[in-house]
Amino acid sequence: MRVLGIETSCDETAAAVVGGDRRILSNVVLSQLDEHRPYGGVVPEIAARSHLDHIGGLVARALREAGTGYEDLDGVAATAGPGLIGGVMVGLMTGKAIALVRKLPFVAVNHMEAHALTPRLTDGIEFPYLALLVSGGHCMLLAVRGPGGYRRYGSTVDDAVGEAFDKTAKMIGLGYPGGPALEEAARTGDPARFDLPRPMLGRPGCDFSFSGLKTAVRRTLDALPAGPLDPKTASDLAASFQQAVADVLADRAARAIARFREEFPGGSTLVVAGGVAANRHLRAALEKTAQSNGMRFVAPPLALCTDNAAMVAWAGIERLGAGLTDSLDAPARPRWPLDETAAEPRG
């Protein structure tokens, strides 16, 4: 089985070909970072236009690098949401057009499902498992039972964790994108210098909250002498923020592990996925939490944590394998909760 995957939900234009044997035959990612950098964040219209300019060439390149013709494909999978609607439509329409012309099965992929299933592509882990999905738009803990089978244990009541990284980095005056810049600054910083709050720590349930932490960083900055931060203070503040996030994620994950073990006695793996899972400090904290709770820990390699199309192709393979295909009128969905029975998170 060979599936073409297409991803255009945020600021990466990506195409990939993946085999049913978990081989990634090609994985092409074009980042739009330079186009958005002057604005300090992703501009939806610029993103959509850029996806439109590049998607055709990227699909051709992904097929060429995989040594695959359209006639060798068994299906086409494209992200249908959640994400920036203009960009999602570009990838979704491209995928549908290929499926229509080549008479291939089509799969409309939920971007978060693609992140959640990535550890099966990279590590071949078995269902069920517990997943912590941390990205620019999401922060949630889920039991993963199979393609389309998710039970949400908790999610953020305000900001997503990647969003908190990005906004905090901006306040501290670090570069764009914020997450990687903040991690880099934190490397040499003292995580104990600033006493920042750990929202939700010790509370029942598995929900997250990050807006109070962001506000605390703002207050800390306001209390410092005016003018640009000296590099030492910037890296101490970055390290203090990152440590607060690590403590919160570890606490929430430990609670979710307890619940998961009760509901799924056969499961024993915690996976972390999504762009923020690229953060080495957070990975280490979560690995420790998993180990001290008797769980195996799996995090995909960095390049498959951030947005890519190999994960979309793989989600397509999983869904096709489960007999799940979509019609060519599948809509683009700016919001699309993974757990269809759960209420939408606030904010």
Contact residues toward ligand KG4 (CB under 6 A) are 10, 135-137, 162, 165-166, 177-180, 183, 274-276, 278-279, 306-307
Task: Give φ, ψ of 345 to 5 degrees.
Answer: -65, 150
> Which one of Zn ion, ligand KG4, none is in contact with 251 (Cβ closer than 5 to 8 A by kind)?
none
Residue whose tokens read 């969905």: 333
Cβ distance to Zn ion smaller for residue 135 or 289: 135
155 binds, among Zn ion, ligand KG4, none (CB under 5 to 8 A by kind): none
For Zn ion, the closer CB: 73 or 161: 161
Q: Which residue, 183 or 307, has its beta carbon nearer to Zn ion? A: 307
**Which residue, 112 or 217, has its beta carbon nearer to Zn ion?**
112
CB of 151 to Zn ion, least distance (A): 21
- The binder of 183, among Zn ion, ligand KG4, none, by C-beta within 5 to 8 A per type, is ligand KG4
| Alpha-carbon gap, residue 264 to 215, rounded angstroms | 38
Compute the least distance from the CB of residue 308 to ligand KG4, in Å: 8
Q: Measured from the CB of residue 346, what is the shortest distance to Zn ion in angstroms?
A: 20
Judged by the rule CB under 5 A, the positions of this chain that interact with Zn ion are 135, 307
The partner in contact with residue 177, picked from ligand KG4, Zn ion, none with C-beta cut-offs of 5 to 8 angstroms by kind, is: ligand KG4
Sequence-ordered list of residues with C-beta below 8 angstroms from that of 299, at least 6 positions apart, any chain? 119, 271, 272, 273, 277, 283, 286, 287, 305
Instruction: Please report the sign of the dihedral spanned by the C-alpha atoms of residue 21, residue 120, residue 344, residue 94.
Output: negative
Tell me the CA distances in angstroms from 274 to 64, 114, 308, 327, one per residue in order: 27, 9, 10, 27
Q: Identify which of 231, 249, 239 has the alpha carbon closest to the alpha carbon of residue 168.
A: 239
What does 207 interact with, of Zn ion, ligand KG4, none (CB < 5 to 8 A by kind)?
none
d(CA 192, CA 45): 41
Which residues, in sequence order, are CB contacts of 177 under 8 Å at separation 6+?
33, 166, 169
Residue nearest to ligand KG4 (CB): 275
Sort strands 139-146 and 269-273 into parallel, antiparallel or unpaired. unpaired
Q: Output 20 or 41, the one with its CB closest to Zn ion.
A: 41
